[in-house]
Structure 1
Amino acid sequence: MAAYKHLAFSSFIILMLFPLLLQFQFGKSELQLNYYSESCPKAEEIIKQEVAKLYYEHGNTAVSWLRNLFHDCFVQGCDASLLLESVNGIESEKASGRSFGMRNFKYVNTIKKALENECPSAVSCADVVALSARDGIVMLGGPHIEMKTGRRDSNESYAKIVEEFIPNHNDSMSSVLSRFQSVGIDVEGTVALLGAHSVGRVHCVNLVHRLYPTVDPTLDPDYAEYLKGRCPTPIPDPTAVQYSRNDRETPMILDNNYYKNLLKNKGLLMVDQELASDPATLPFVQKMASDNDYFNEQFSRAALLLSEYNPLTGDQGEVRKDCRYVNTN
């Protein structure tokens, strides 16, 4: 009987340890809270401090961190492939038309340098992307989101397939929903994440097709006249600073004004306005327009799902020393 109990206990221990053994076997580990508690205990606080410092010097950086998360994670997962420069045979994802208007990449390395000074080669650029977005959301008045860490950095770019993953602002709502679903985000979460359009701005290049040669009938007429004032020609210079804010009332606050504007036919992009006309998304637009807490709750849920999509972990990829380049050794 004693031998039987010993055998049963041994079998139980093996079953309990089997998932962990598999992780070691394949060099794979999961994301976890406070991943850097031993290797770089101050990492998350350093990122938070740098994000705040940059926000007070360049307020629009907070918007950039949020957009970085979307563009990085949507293309093959959260692995900082977005940040790679075009060098040594690598074609940067930043050169894609889908990345038009993205900026402040140089300040990602400002954050990374602060981390390298504290803990060399410890904190990945992929985690910098995720945590700077988390802290940027707070700077924009949005909710605090507990994000796990432990992502690793890709040693390749996916520039050739960016447009297969990042939705275009002219895509149909069914296409947009399908692309979000492919990364595990449902309709409700999609409506919430598009609420990120509450902050930042849209270049006239992406607006004029709704204004010229005739005004899109789904646009509020008075709002269309305002937009024409911001974008006075049908062929704007893509290098010029010609843009309109997504939300004129609270342009740098992540809130539900975005949805209120949609219900007044004041969406900037086609994809924005379609949210308020598609029967699959309209109920969520209406609910978020009337309840900012509900918007924050759903935005947090969806952003967390996105931040954990298909990361490299364990011994996959690398931890870049400079977020712009793969390591040379």
Structure 2
Amino acid sequence: MKPTTDTCSLSPQDQYGFFSISLFVPLLLLLSPGLSNTISHWRGDEVGVKSTGLVLNFYKESCPQAEEIISQQVKLLYKRHKNTAFSWLRNIFHDCAVQSCDASLLLDSTRRSLSEKEADRSFGMRNFRYIETIKEAVERECPGVVSCSDILVLSARDGIAELGGPYIPLRTGRRDGRKSRGADLLEEYLPDHNDSISSVMDKFHALGIDTPGVVALLGAHSVGRTHCVKLVHRLYPEVDPALNPDHVPHMLKKCPDAIPDPKAVQYVRNDHGTPMKLDNNYYRNILDDKGLLLVDHDIAHDKRTRPFVKKMAKNQNYFFREFSRAITILSENNPLTGDEGEIRKRCNAVNKRH
């Protein structure tokens, strides 16, 4: 897949509006004071329908209320459980980056195979049960019509908006895969916190995402948290000298053990300043050497990525444009369409064949 031309633009009215505080709300029903007074739109109509077989509003005839139901469920769940937004955003990375955007991530383990969501690379992922909640709401309206893979993608889209990020029109029409992929494939396709910046870029470039797109995707580290087991190598036995010394005491307070219990809920918020908001503060932090992960430090200092980091630190609209473009490419990675795959009845299990 080739990188998509940047066609994201701001209309005059967008330049004076506010971002929706609903994580995945296409209707942008809630407006939150205090958010950035711009709103970015990914204009899918200008890009044209790709050969993926996906289209905007795929369910407009078969289930006209599908996207509204999904967005309303996301809004309701986010209101009750704020951390669902981070989970839905992470879902789209972990599912779509591994061979196909087909909801294989959501499948439970079986007696024969370990599921993707229980593999080491998926450490810390949770809230899968809320995808099932959304699926049940959609099934009540249109049984057997809307795929779990589309629900995964649309919940991520609306979740991004809930966190104050851009609303990104994403195409639908995906079908669900019938197998969970092995841990070895996750290791091959998903970047790790210890990977070099070259390795991270290579993995995303293979999906058709260019360097500014990679830098923008890493901006997802603006929200959520990093578990201490992923950080202690930068703190013990000696503190990584690349870390800003003013930020180290906070990290040590949150991660006081050199060998933390992986089952304990010990973590550091990715962005100490605006931890619940998807914004460009992340880029200012990493330029100030306050990034938690090695990859955060590397993109701020590598000559291939630093210019884009600096530009995104200064211009949130630019960050949102590149982020929208990259998410769109990611969401259209090798989908199952037409007669491929199936429409699962439950997202955590394949349909029984008679």
Give the TM-score normalised by the residue count of structure 1: 0.90
Alignment pair present for 1:316 and 2:313: no
Q: Counterpart in 2 of 1:242?
A: 266
Which residue number in structure 1 is paired with residue 280 of structure 2?
A: 256
- 1:213-263, CA deviations, whole angstroms, 9 ceiling, x for partnerless residues? 011111001211210011001101111111000111110100000000001
Root-mean-square deviation (CA, aligned residues, Å) is: 1.0
1:221 alignment partner, SS class: coil
Cα distance, 1:277 vs. partner?
1.0
Which residue of structure 1 aligns with residue 201 of structure 2?
A: 177
Answer yes or no: is the 8 Å Cα contact 1:90–1:156 preserved in 2. Answer: no
Alpha-carbon separation, structure 2, partners of 1:52 and 1:71: 22
Alignment equivalent of 2:74, drawn from 45, 51, 57: 51
Q: In structure 2, how many angstroms separate the alpha carbons of the residues matched to 1:89 and 1:241? A: 30
1:159 Cα offset (Å)? 2.1
> 1:67 aligned to 2:90?
yes
d(CA) in 1 for partners of 2:181, 2:208: 20
Post-superposition Cα deviations, 1:51-107, rounded to whole Å, max 9, x if no partner, equal 000000001101111100000001111000000001253420012111001110010
Unaligned runs of 5+ in 1: 1-27
In structure 2, what residue type is equivalent to 1:280?
R
Q: Name which of 107, 117, 127 aligns with 1:104.
A: 127
Name whichever of 101-110 and 82-91 sits farther off: 82-91
User: What amino acid does structure 2 have at the position aligned with 1:187?
Assistant: T
Alignment of 1:105-184 (within 5 A): 105-160=128-183, 161-184=185-208
Matched residue SS, 1:202: strand
Q: Does 1:327 align with 2:351?
A: yes
Distance in 1 separating the partners of 2:338 and 2:98: 20
Other-structure match for 2:10: none
Q: Per the alignment, in what secondary structure is the counterpart of residue 179 of structure 2?
A: coil
CA distance in structure 2 between the partners assigned to 1:170 and 1:241 by the alignment: 21
Count of matched residue positions in the alignment of Structure 1 and Structure 2:
302
1:280 alignment counterpart = 304
**Partner Cα distance (1:206, 1:147) in 2:** 32
Q: 1:270 aligns with which of 261, 274, 294?
A: 294
Q: Distance in 2 between matches of 1:219 and 1:102?
A: 26
User: Residue 293 of structure 1 aligns to which amino acid in structure 2?
Assistant: N
Q: Structure 1 residue 29: deviation in Å?
A: 6.8
State the alpha-carbon separation in 2 of the partners of residues 180 and 245 from structure 1: 25
Cα deviation 1:28-48 (Å, max 9, x = unaligned):
970001100111110000000
Instruction: Give yes or no for contact 2:164–2:278 (8 Å, CA) kept in 1.
Output: yes
Helix, strand or coil at the partner of 1:222:
coil
Give the letter aligned to residue 344 of structure 2.
R
Q: 1:36 is matched with which residue?
A: 59
Say if 1:71 and 1:82, in contact at 8 Å, map to a contact too. yes
- Name which of structure 1's ranges 47-56 and 152-161 shifts more when overlaid on structure 2: 152-161
Partner of 1:11: none
Change (3 A) 1:287 1:29: closer
- Alignment of 1:201 with 2:225, yes or no, is yes
Secondary structure in structure 2 of the residue aligned to 1:276? helix
CA distance in 1, matches of 2:277, 2:222: 7
* Residue 5 (structure 1) aligns with: none
Name structure 2 gaps, 5 residues minimum.
1-50
CA distance in 2, matches of 1:73, 1:200: 19
Larger Cα-atom Rg: 1
Structure 2 counterpart of 1:86:
109
Higher helix share: 1
Q: Distance in 1 between matches of 2:52 and 2:233?
A: 47
- Alignment partners' CA distance in 2, 1:321 and 1:30: 22
The answer (yes or no) to whether the contact 2:52–2:335 under 8 Å persists in 1 is: no
